[in-house]
Amino acid sequence: MQSTAVSEALNAITASVAALHRLCDSSRLAGAPDSDPLRQLADDCLDAFTEVGRIEARTAAFKVRLADTFAAASRAMASPAASPQEQCAAEMGLVAELACALTVTERTAGAFLEEARQLTSALPLTLTALEAGTISWQHARVLVDETTGLTPAAAATLEAHFLDPDAVNPARGCPPGDLVPSRFRAKARIWRERHHPVSIEQRHRTSAQDRRLEYIPDRDGMAWLSAYLPADTAASIWNRATAAARDLQNPAEPRNLSQLRADTAAAWLLGGVADGVPSPKAQVLVTVPVLSLLGATEEPAHLDGYGPIPPSMARRLIADGATSFHRVLTDPRTGAPLEIQRASYRISTAMRQWLRLRDGKCPFPGCNNQSLDTEADHITPWHEGGTTGVSNLGQPCRKHHRLRHTTGWKPINATHDAPPGWESPSGRRYPGEQHDWEPPWMPPANHWPPDVVQTAETAEHTPGANYGPDTDLPVDPFPDWESWIAAWLRGLTTPSLTLATRPAAGQARHSSAPAMSGRGPPAPS
């Protein structure tokens, strides 16, 4: 069946184990007379952790190959004339034997067999990366989960985006193996939502029918209460409870933030507004492409702390509750925000909003603290000559802000469109997570709002074409959009709009952002 592949995987694991033994057997305390033996010992341990991670990944890939080969051999031994009932019984026996061999439940064994089938038949790049040790088993399971339910072509496109550097639209920022699995899942989910063949509006309407509240008793007199809600509602509740909990924190308060958040939400649910429990207005940061806001495209908006949401949800958030709307210019070739420069120490509100868009969360590797719960920080301190430009700013959460100023950890190498990485006291560098920016969707001419009049000095730039990666930025085609949208939201008037599109000198290339299905973005309804 696959004896050659299994043998190669086993040889790779054996080589890794041998390398680890060589590392562990080396004399850690030996070295130059002026070397630091404890530092060398700590470095050897970190190197060993890295090698163990590769061994675990290769072992997982080996188990996948074994499971697939075992299933194929067992099915080949079954009688070809077996009835459907006999085939079902044979499958049950196959799962039961694997469960006993691995000492897991039959449900776990059945799930593992299905994951092995998907990896060997539909996700070859993922299995290759697992065998090479560049991603972990948790990363591989993320790709299995996020491609489940997609067509084979769509699944291959998503996989290639993250694992094939020669893909048409490769991922930007950290390789998947440099992200903790939960953060990689967030990036994979965002890309899947943007490129799914079915509109996010249609999928949201179906999923919203399943909203519910669940109650699960637990041990020690405790229980779980959870709600499955639309993302904007859930984010508003979470941010509001977090803000209230922050307001209650003080030196005399014995409860931590998680306890305060739970007590605050319980007080609201049981009695409205309890004594001593503030009820601040929820803060929700939503980024929505202006053409999606106007209904010209169905490009998803982005809800801070969650990810892609339907544009109708974003329009409702802006129309029903937004007290301010911050304009952020984006690069039409990449979708990344453009840098705002300042010369003073004070960080303006606009710049803080920009940092939230650039970083999306605390930039420390693996941290999930949202951007509304972070603190601005100069990477090169002001008193050491650092400037207050976006390239010298980060927004760590309180925990990692304190880590930076009380230990040897320090942020490094931020740019105008990428958050800082971090350097540990040992000198190792860990890259910061980066947004996977993509050019915004541009609708074809017949899908622009009817009151938009287009004037162009040339036919080179019309709606429906994205700017190419080697072009200069054009002039802002929509300089008065804030007042235009304000009038549109109020519904008091039907504003008229003229878009003047002027190509910059030397522009020649245009490319459309490829959709997961291989087609263009979903057409507006």
Q: Which of 180-184, 206-210, 378-382, 401-405 has the lowest mean pLDDT?
A: 378-382
Highest mean pLDDT out of 14-23, 121-130, 445-454: 121-130
The pLDDT value recorded for residue 347 is: 67
Amino acid of residue 148: T
C-alpha–C-alpha distance, residues 219 and 202, integer Å: 40
**Structural domain boundaries in the chain:** 3-198, 349-430
Q: Quickly tell me which residue has 């043998």 as its tokens.
A: 7
| DSSP β-bridge partners for residue 411 | 422
CA nearest 50: which of 432, 436, 426, 433?
A: 426
Express each pLDDT in 153-166 by its tens digit.
Answer: 999 999 999 999 89
Express each pLDDT in 246-277 by its tens digit.
Answer: 889 999 999 998 999 999 999 888 876 545 55
Instruction: State the CB neighbour count (10 A cutoff) for residue 357.
Output: 19
The pLDDT value recorded for residue 315 is: 80
CA nearest 282: which of 353, 356, 372?
A: 372
Q: Of all residues in the chain, what percent carry a pLDDT higher than 90?
A: 28
Higher pLDDT, 469 or 224: 224
The answer to whether the beta carbons of residues 260 and 241 sit under 8 Å apart is no
How do 301-303 and 307-309 pair as beta strands? antiparallel
Q: Which long-range contacts (CB under 8 A, 24 or more apart) does 218-226 make?
A: none
Tokens (6 digits) for 323? 């007290």
Would you give the distance in Å from CA 410 to the centre of its chain? 23
Higher pLDDT, 285 or 454: 285
Render 277-335 in DSSP notation, one character per residue.
Answer: ---PPPP--EE--HHHHTTS----EEETTTEEE-HHHHHHHHHHH-S------B-TTT-
At residue 29 the predicted structure's pLDDT band, cuts being 50, 70 and 90, is: very low
Express each pLDDT in 442-486 by its tens digit.
Answer: 666 555 545 444 433 333 333 334 434 444 444 554 555 556 656
C-alpha–C-alpha distance, residues 428 and 45, integer Å: 13
At residue 280 the predicted structure's pLDDT band, cuts being 50, 70 and 90, is: low
On the question of pLDDT at 136 being above 90, the answer is yes
Average pLDDT over residues 351-380: 79
C-alpha–C-alpha distance, residues 181 and 436, integer Å: 16
- The DSSP element (H or E) to which 110 belongs, if any, is helix 106-121
At residue 504 the predicted structure's pLDDT band, cuts being 50, 70 and 90, is: very low
At residue 377 the predicted structure's pLDDT band, cuts being 50, 70 and 90, is: confident
On the question of pLDDT at 25 being above 70, the answer is no
Express each pLDDT in 85-106 by its tens digit.
Answer: 888 888 898 999 999 999 999 9
Would you give the distance in Å from CA 11 to the centre of its chain? 34
Would you give the distance in Å from CA 384 to the centre of its chain? 34
C-alpha–C-alpha distance, residues 249 and 255, integer Å: 8
Average pLDDT over residues 286-291: 74
The pLDDT value recorded for residue 334 is: 57
Tokens (6 digits) for 64? 């996948």
C-alpha–C-alpha distance, residues 193 and 381, integer Å: 39
